[in-house]
């Protein structure tokens, strides 16, 4: 491509950005990706959730013309993105299993007639022989693969249906392929490139830092009490609460409802229509709490989500990062709070060992879990540990529990040696709960039946409370002094490093248990706009109008306008179409469709 062509396409991209999407400029990292795709290059893009990955292929799609194929893993994700694009005046469609066949046929006729710029498909539908043959006859200009980490066997979220996508480069040899993800460590990125492109590709890694999300982890003690305290302090905020099991989801949602918290349940065991209703309510209403398993979340684009609360330990650092990344997508302060316990570690290891995968994959997943445990137990900056995991430049954030309230470390060498002695004396086949009972001198049936009440170590740790012993065991696991033998029903075993500590070689420092801080950050720190009383009333009125318009169209509220656009309207108070066109996020289609109702509401407050 000549310099002149390149400049012309760059100008066209900026026009589309403003005229179609209503943005004055690209976010960091976007323009470079757009330029590479317009130049016909294959591109691997890793951007944090909420950084604007979709625009990286949507703008080239509109500049290049012809047809862009977008591969997406979830029907709900496709439907939401298509709805948002249509509101912006973009000719986007999807063919998927949730739609009636006549609807899909009608969409296909529009595609073959050249009336569609972006077509969203699931990988299973795209990679059929009839679909590939039909698409080969159309002017396909670009292929975009969303959630691209699903193609990698090195990643924790491998999906077999994504594996067939590796043949796209031979099916469409002259078409640039964009792979986009928010979650990929260096090994996963290399594997994506090898599978999709047959070797290294142009990679853009914008960084994994989400500095607006405050990170916190604490021991799970009474999870209902801890959850309720957290949620009640944030009443009126939208949030997601993740639980490990369907039963716990139901229990937590009911408990919150009984305590006057507007909570909804979501898991794969619920009726599909009920799940859909709950998701629609969550996406269109403010102040709701969605209590869910990980069946809920991928592709959820709710910009005003203020927190993600994990009742249980996630499956890996990648899963944790992806799940907390659903908070604070509007750039305003948000929170990620996680509870965890030794039971979580045992359950996660059982899940890994019960997977129908080879031993190498299981070994990698155990290692991933080890690193997540180390993160949870980390006494230093959590953001630094998180970024280091993904190969990003570590920065101390000043916005995690360890930075805001630095932990006090204690010399735990003697306690660790006592714990190791108890593990050794009981045969290295019992879990943490039993070991703590032995150390504390508990008189349980199990202690008596095993004869462990007659061991010299029985009661040797009475001076330390059980919660502190449990925390110490977890930190010993994180420090590789102990390992969990899942095959032995979660029994603790002494590692080589632990054996050296028993022999008096080395030291062990640990963090005593810290209670959950229940106070909420001052409002100014949580990013609420500092609006006067009159402006706050206008902002509320604009949100009500947005919800009405969204419900009429059957789309999420954010697809009409994000909060940032409403705040811009509140501050600038446009009085005519020309002024409304200058509002953030107002493109030509939204100017045409929404200027009148929003100007009317604004006018009522200005008079």
Picking from 179, 205, 231, the residue at the C-terminal end of a domain is 205
Is 324 a domain residue? yes
Instruction: Answer with the residue of higher pLDDT: 486 or 303.
Output: 303
Q: Is the pTM of this model over 0.75?
A: no
| Per-residue pLDDT tens digits for 213-272 | 999 999 888 999 999 999 999 999 999 999 989 999 999 999 999 999 999 999 989 988
pLDDT at 32 over 60: yes
Give the pLDDT score at 153. 65
pLDDT of residue 559: 85
Q: Are residues 364 and 464 in the same domain?
A: no
Note whether 255 and 219 are same-domain residues. Answer: yes
Q: How confident is the model at residue 527 (pLDDT cuts 50, 70, 90)?
A: very low
**Residue whose token pair is 């019992």:** 430
**By three-state DSSP, how is residue 580 classified?**
helix
- Rounded Cα–Cα distance for residues 394 and 495 (Å): 29
Q: Does 346 fall in a domain?
A: yes
pLDDT in tens, 367-423: 778 778 878 887 778 888 888 878 777 777 889 998 898 888 889 999 999 999 999
Show Cβ contacts of residue 62 under 8 Å, excluding neighbours closer than 6 positions. Answer: 16, 20, 90, 117
Per-residue model confidence (pLDDT) at position 607: 60
Q: At what angle do helices 30-38 and 53-64 cross, to 10 degrees?
A: 30
Together in a domain, 146 and 287:
no
Q: How confident is the model at residue 2 (pLDDT cuts 50, 70, 90)?
A: low
Helix axes 533-553, 563-572, angle to 10 degrees: 140
Output the six-digit token pair for 37.
Answer: 């795709």
Domain count, the chain: 4
What pLDDT is stored for residue 320 in this prediction? 92
Q: Domain boundary residue among 510, 537, 555?
A: 510
- Assess if residue 542 is contained within a domain: yes
Do 46 and 81 sit in the same domain of this protein? yes
In the prediction, which pLDDT does 349 show? 85
pLDDT of 73-125, one tens digit each?
888 778 888 999 999 999 999 999 889 999 999 999 999 999 999 999 999 99
pLDDT of residue 363: 74
Looking at the structure, do residues 146 and 289 belong to the same domain, yes or no? no
pLDDT value at residue 393: 76
What pLDDT band is residue 172 in, cutting at 50, 70 and 90? very high
CA distance 290 to 243: 11
The predicted model gives 21-29 an average pLDDT of 90
pLDDT tens-digit readout, 332-362? 899 999 998 878 888 888 888 888 777 777 7
522 found inside a domain:
no
Give residues with Cβ within 8 angstroms of 527, minimum separation 6.
212, 332, 333, 334
Residue 533 inside a domain? The answer is: yes
What's the CATH number where 597 sits?
Answer: 1.10.150.80
Q: Are residues 42 and 178 in the same domain?
A: yes
Task: Indicate if 326 and 238 belong to the same structural domain.
Answer: yes
In a domain, 520, yes or no: no
The pLDDT of residue 515 is 52
Question: Is residue 58, in this structure, part of any structural domain at all?
Answer: yes
Same structural domain, 333 and 433: no
Report the b/e string of 555-594 with b at 16+ CB within 10 A.
Answer: bbbbbbbbbbbbbbbbeeebeeeeebbebbbbbebbbeeb
Do 395 and 468 lie in one domain? The reply is: no
Tens-digit pLDDT profile for residues 266-316: 998 998 889 888 888 888 788 999 999 987 866 677 878 999 999 999 988
Please compute the mean of the pLDDT values over residues 15-29 and round it to a whole number.
92
Q: Which of 349, 377, 404 is the last residue of a domain?
A: 404
Q: For residue 281, give its domain range.
A: 213-404
Domain match, 378 and 242 both:
yes
Question: Confidence band (pLDDT; 50, 70, 90) for 526?
Answer: very low
Averaged pLDDT, 523-552:
74
Concatenated DSSP letters of 214-261:
EEEEEE-SSHHHHHHHHHHTTTTSEEEEE-SSHHHHHHHHHHHHHTT-
pLDDT of residue 45: 93
pLDDT number for residue 381: 86
User: What is the H or E stretch that residue 494 is in?
Assistant: strand 491-494
Assess if residue 37 is contained within a domain.
yes
CATH of the domain at 245: 3.40.50.300
Phi, psi (degrees; rounded to nearest 5) at 509 = -115, 140
Mean pLDDT comparison of 438-447, 480-489, 559-568, 598-607, highest-scoring range: 438-447
> Residue 450 maps to which CATH number?
1.10.10.10
| Token pair of 495 as six digits | 């590692």
Same domain, 189 and 225: no
Measured CA distances, 39 to 64, 171, 213, 304, 458 (Å): 10, 20, 35, 35, 71
Do 49 and 325 contact (CB within 8 A), yes or no? yes
- Answer yes or no: do 399 and 414 share one domain: no
- 131-165 tens-digit pLDDT: 999 999 999 999 999 988 888 765 556 677 788 89
Mean pLDDT (the chain, rounded): 87
DSSP, collapsed to helix, strand or coil, labels residue 485 as strand
Give residue 557's pLDDT: 80
């Amino acid at each position: 491509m000549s310099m002149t062509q390149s400049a012309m396409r760059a100008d066209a991209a900026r026009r589309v950005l403003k005229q179609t999407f209503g943005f004055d400029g690209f976010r960091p990292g976007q323009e470079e990706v757009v330029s590479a795709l317009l130049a016909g290059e294959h591109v691997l893009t890793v951007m944090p959730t909420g950084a604007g990955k979709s625009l990286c292929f949507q703008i080239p799609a509109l500049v290049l013309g012809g047809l862009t194929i977008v591969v997406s893993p979830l029907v709900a994700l496709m439907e939401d993105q298509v709805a948002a694009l249509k509101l912006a005046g973009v000719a986007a469609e999807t063919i998927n299993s949730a739609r009636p066949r006549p609807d899909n046929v009608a969409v296909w006729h529009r595609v073959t007639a050249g009336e569609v710029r972006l077509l969203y498909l699931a990988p299973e539908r795209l990679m059929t022989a009839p679909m590939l043959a039909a698409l080969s006859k159309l002017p396909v200009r670009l292929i975009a693969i969303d959630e691209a980490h699903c193609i990698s066997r090195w990643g924790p979220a491998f999906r077999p249906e994504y594996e067939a996508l590796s043949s796209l480069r031979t099916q469409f040899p002259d078409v640039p392929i964009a792979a986009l993800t928010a979650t990929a460590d260096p090994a996963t990125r290399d594997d994506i490139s090898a599978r999709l492109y047959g070797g290294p590709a142009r990679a853009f890694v914008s960084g994994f830092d989400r500095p607006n999300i405050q990170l916190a982890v604490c021991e799970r003690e009474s999870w209902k009490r801890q959850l309720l305290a957290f949620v009640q302090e944030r009443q009126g905020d939208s949030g997601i609460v993740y639980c490990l099991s369907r039963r716990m989801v139901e229990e937590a949602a009911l408990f919150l409802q009984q305590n006057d918290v507007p909570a909804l349940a979501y898991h794969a065991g619920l009726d599909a229509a009920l799940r859909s209703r709950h998701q629609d309510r969550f996406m269109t209403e403010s102040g709701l709490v969605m209590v869910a398993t990980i069946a809920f979340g991928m592709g959820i684009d709710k910009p005003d989500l203020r927190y993600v609360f994990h009742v249980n330990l996630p499956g890996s650092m990648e899963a944790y990062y992806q799940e907390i990344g659903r908070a604070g997508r509007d750039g305003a302060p948000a929170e990620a709070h996680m509870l965890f316990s030794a039971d979580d570690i045992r359950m996660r290891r059982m899940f890994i060992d019960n997977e129908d995968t080879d031993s190498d994959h299981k070994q990698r997943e155990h290692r991933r879990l080890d690193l997540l445990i180390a993160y949870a137990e980390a006494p230093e900056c959590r953001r630094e540990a998180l970024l280091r995991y993904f190969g990003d430049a570590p920065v101390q954030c000043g916005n995690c529990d360890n930075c805001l309230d630095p932990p006090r470390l204690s010399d735990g060498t003697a306690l660790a040696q006592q714990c190791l002695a108890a593990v050794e004396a009981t045969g290295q086949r019992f879990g943490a709960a039993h070991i703590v009972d032995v150390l504390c001198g508990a008189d349980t049936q199990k202690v008596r039946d095993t004869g462990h009440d007659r061991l010299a170590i029985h009661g040797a740790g009475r001076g330390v409370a059980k919660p502190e012993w449990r925390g110490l065991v977890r930190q010993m696991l994180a420090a590789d002094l102990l390992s969990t033998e899942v095959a032995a029903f979660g029994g603790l075993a002494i590692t080589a490093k632990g054996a050296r500590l028993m022999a008096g070689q080395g030291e062990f420092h640990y963090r005593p248990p810290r209670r959950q801080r229940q106070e909420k950050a001052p409002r100014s720190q949580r990013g609420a706009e500092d609006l006067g009383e009159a402006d706050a009333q206008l902002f509320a009125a604009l949100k009500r109008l947005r919800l009405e318009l969204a419900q009429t169209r059957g789309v999420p509220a954010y697809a009409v306008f994000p909060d940032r656009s409403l705040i811009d309207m509140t501050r600038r108070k446009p009085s005519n179409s020309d002024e409304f066109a200058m509002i953030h996020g107002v493109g030509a289609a939204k100017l045409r469709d929404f200027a009148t109702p929003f100007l009317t509401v604004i006018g009522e407050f200005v008079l």
